[in-house]
């Protein structure tokens, strides 16, 4: 079936793009435009007509991509039309009148791209990340993974294992074929190297989570020190209630901001004190959970005598506007005022340096999904099992473990193909001799 759908966002806009994919894509373009020649990959100025009653619907651009050089790998056409709701609906209706054309299901274009080997699973997932990217770093990582950095890493693991399997299988099937000694000696070394590469990949999990889900910062302190005032100032809007009454905030309130290109989630929390009120107590419990859950804690004070520097926390003295200038000259702690904005830029710089430090040297292949981590862990299990098996005397058992690992890698990229082992054997050994 040939499918079609609006590919730009729903709603009113200057332009809208309707994408058509399948063997009738060009026919549909010709039918609606009443134009008979389209050159592949070239835009043409077209008028769009309803195929039944001949109504002129819109004037725009049409382009045809002959397979396989298209997003889906099938024949694809695009109609660039005006982005009004009625225009879009009329064009979609007109397409629906053509035989064997139907509205695409969610994700169906991408699914076809996957089936036609245009993209592997990691690229598809990264494309989703790219569309949802809010910050520069998310964007950069998603673009790199969409362009195949992760797929390349996984395929390199797979290739190493397939090579080992190929050598060993050749040994079983063709007894007169000598397996070179050095190859066997190297097998365990190669597996060890692979295990450490995969462990390195798994260890980058935290960075992946931070880039995707955000660097979490809890703003804590005693009641009334100005935590909610600070979060409102950072967010540039009133997200939390500010009051001179101590114990105002009970629920943890979160805002996500872009700091140096990274998503940073600030959490305003209930002020910590010995509370008697049950609701406030619950709020304070949540504060402790948030502290445990964050990458960085900012502890606010409004009384310099109470300041203490706890490890892993950034201590900040607020309400500096109330303090006499001479009093605070030799204080090491960062001083701010949410009233006058004093010290706020410096605070943001400090936060930024913490975020950047945690994410320095990030590789383009950090695991951005839990399934990459779970899959990698399964691969390690199989490789560790293999290490306890003698590859020469128990070749089949050994190879079986490697196969499980290879399949698991195949699952990561969406490619599971056992025939490939044979291909490698045929390529590396002259079997027919």
Ligand X SMILES: Nc1nc2c(ncn2[C@@H]2O[C@H](COP(=O)(O)OP(=O)(O)OP(=O)(O)O)[C@@H](O)[C@H]2O)c(=O)[nH]1
- Rounded Cα–Cα distance for residues 265 and 429 (Å): 56
Cα dihedral sign, 387-389-395-396:
negative
Under rule CB under 6 A, residue 136 binds ligand X: no
**In the bound complex, what is the minimum distance in angstroms from residue 339's beta carbon to ligand X?**
4
| ∠ Cα 366 370 375 (to 5°) | 85
**In the bound complex, what is the minimum distance in angstroms from residue 256's beta carbon to ligand X?**
19
Task: Indicate the residue among 244 and 332 with the shorter CB distance to ligand X.
Answer: 244
**In the bound complex, what is the minimum distance in angstroms from residue 293's beta carbon to ligand X?**
19
Cα dihedral sign, 100-101-103-108:
positive
Task: Indicate the residue among 112 and 227 with the shorter CB distance to ligand X.
Answer: 227
Task: Indicate the residue among 265 and 373 with the shorter CB distance to ligand X.
Answer: 265
Residue position matching structure tokens 């993974």 = 145
State the number of CA atoms in the 13 A half-sphere of 98 facing the CB. 27
Query: Which among 291, 247, 253, 301 is positioned nearest to 271, based on CA atoms?
Result: 247
Under rule CB under 6 A, residue 319 binds ligand X: yes
The residue nearest ligand X at its CB is 271
Q: Using CB under 6 A, which residues numbered 323 to 352 contact ligand X?
A: 337-339
Q: Which two three-digit tokens encode residue 311?
A: 């490890």
* One residue of 122, 318, 365, 368 binding ligand X per CB under 6 A: 318
| ∠ Cα 413 193 212 (to 5°) | 45
Specify the stretch interacting with ligand X by CB under 6 A; choose among 81-89, 109-117, 237-245, 399-407.
237-245
Specify the stretch interacting with ligand X by CB under 6 A; choose among 29-37, 87-95, 149-157, 313-321.
313-321
Calculate Rg over the CA atoms of the chain.
30
| Partner touching 247 among ligand X, Mg ion, none, CB below 5 to 8 Å by kind | ligand X
Backbone phi, psi, residue 352, to 5°: -60, -40
Task: Indicate the residue among 277 and 370 with the shorter CB distance to ligand X.
Answer: 277
List the beta strands (DSSP E) in 26-134.
43-49, 56-65, 76-83, 101-103
- Rounded Cα–Cα distance for residues 164 and 157 (Å): 11
- Rounded Cα–Cα distance for residues 409 and 407 (Å): 5
**In the bound complex, what is the minimum distance in angstroms from residue 246's beta carbon to Mg ion?**
9
| Partner touching 225 among Mg ion, ligand X, none, CB below 5 to 8 Å by kind | ligand X
* One residue of 150, 242, 296, 317 binding ligand X per CB under 6 A: 242
Q: How many residues bind ligand X (CB under 6 A)?
A: 23
- Rounded Cα–Cα distance for residues 178 and 175 (Å): 7
What's the distance, Cα to Cα, between the start and end of the chain in Å?
47
| Partner touching 149 among Mg ion, ligand X, none, CB below 5 to 8 Å by kind | none
Q: Which two three-digit tokens encode residue 133?
A: 């990217």
Task: Indicate the residue among 227 and 369 with the shorter CB distance to ligand X.
Answer: 227
Determine if residue 92 is left, alpha or beta; phi over 0 gives left, psi from -120 to 50 gives alpha, anything else beta. Answer: alpha
Under rule CB under 6 A, residue 85 binds ligand X: no
**In the bound complex, what is the minimum distance in angstroms from residue 237's beta carbon to ligand X?**
14
Residues that bind Mg ion (CB under 5 A): 227-228, 248-249
Instruction: Show the binding pattern over residues 265-294: x = contacts ligand X (CB under 6 A), - = does not.
Output: ------x-----------------------
Q: Using CB under 6 A, which residues numbered 195 to 234 contact ligand X?
A: 221, 223-229
| Partner touching 382 among Mg ion, ligand X, none, CB below 5 to 8 Å by kind | none
327: which DSSP letter?
G
- Residue ranges binding ligand X (CB under 6 A): 221, 223-229, 242-244, 246-249, 271, 318-319, 321-322, 337-339
């Amino acid at each position: 079936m040939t499918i079609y759908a609006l590919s730009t966002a729903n709603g009113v806009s200057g332009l809208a793009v309707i994408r058509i994919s399948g063997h009738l894509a060009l026919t549909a373009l010709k039918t609606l435009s009443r134009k008979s020649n389209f050159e592949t990959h070239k835009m043409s100025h077209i008028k769009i007509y309803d195929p039944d009653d001949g109504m002129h619907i819109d004037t725009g651009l049409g382009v045809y991509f002959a397979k396989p050089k298209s997003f889906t790998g099938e024949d694809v056409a695009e109609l660039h039309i005006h982005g009004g709701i009625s225009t879009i609906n009329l064009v979609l209706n007109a397409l629906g009148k053509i035989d064997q054309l139907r509205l695409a299901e969610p994700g169906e274009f991408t699914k076809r791209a996957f089936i036609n080997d245009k993209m592997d699973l990691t690229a598809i997932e990264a494309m989703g990340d790219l569309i949802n990217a809010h910050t520069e770093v998310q964007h950069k990582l998603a673009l790199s993974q969409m362009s195949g950095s992760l797929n390349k890493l996984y395929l390199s693991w797979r290739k190493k294992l397939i090579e080992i399997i190929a050598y060993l299988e050749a040994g079983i099937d063709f007894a007169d074929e000598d397996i070179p000694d050095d190859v066997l000696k190297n097998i365990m070394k190669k597996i060890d190297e692979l295990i450490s590469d995969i462990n390195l990949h798994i260890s980058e999990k935290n960075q992946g989570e931070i880039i995707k889900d955000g660097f979490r910062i809890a703003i804590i302190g005693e009641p009334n020190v100005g935590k909610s005032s600070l979060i409102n100032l950072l967010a540039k809007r009133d997200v939390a209630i500010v009051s001179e009454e101590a114990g105002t905030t009970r629920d943890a309130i979160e805002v996500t901001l872009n700091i140096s290109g990274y998503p940073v989630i600030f959490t305003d929390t209930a002020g910590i004190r010995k509370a008697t009120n049950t609701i406030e107590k619950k709020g304070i419990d949540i504060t402790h959970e948030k502290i445990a859950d964050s990458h960085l804690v900012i502890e606010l004070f409004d009384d310099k005598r109470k300041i203490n520097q706890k490890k892993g926390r950034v201590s900040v003295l607020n309400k500096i506007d109330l303090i006499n200038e001479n009093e605070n000259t030799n204080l090491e702690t960062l001083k701010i005022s949410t009233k006058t904005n004093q010290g706020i830029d410096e605070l943001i710089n400090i936060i930024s340096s913490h975020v950047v430090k945690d994410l320095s040297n990030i590789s383009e292949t950090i695991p951005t999904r839990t399934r990459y981590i779970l899959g990698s862990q399964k691969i390690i299990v199989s490789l560790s099992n293999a290490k306890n098996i003698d590859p020469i005397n128990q070749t089949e058992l050994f190879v079986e473990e490697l196969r499980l690992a290879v399949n698991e890698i195949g699952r990561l990229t969406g490619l599971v193909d056992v025939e490939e082992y044979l291909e490698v054997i045929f390529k590396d050994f002259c079997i027919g001799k």
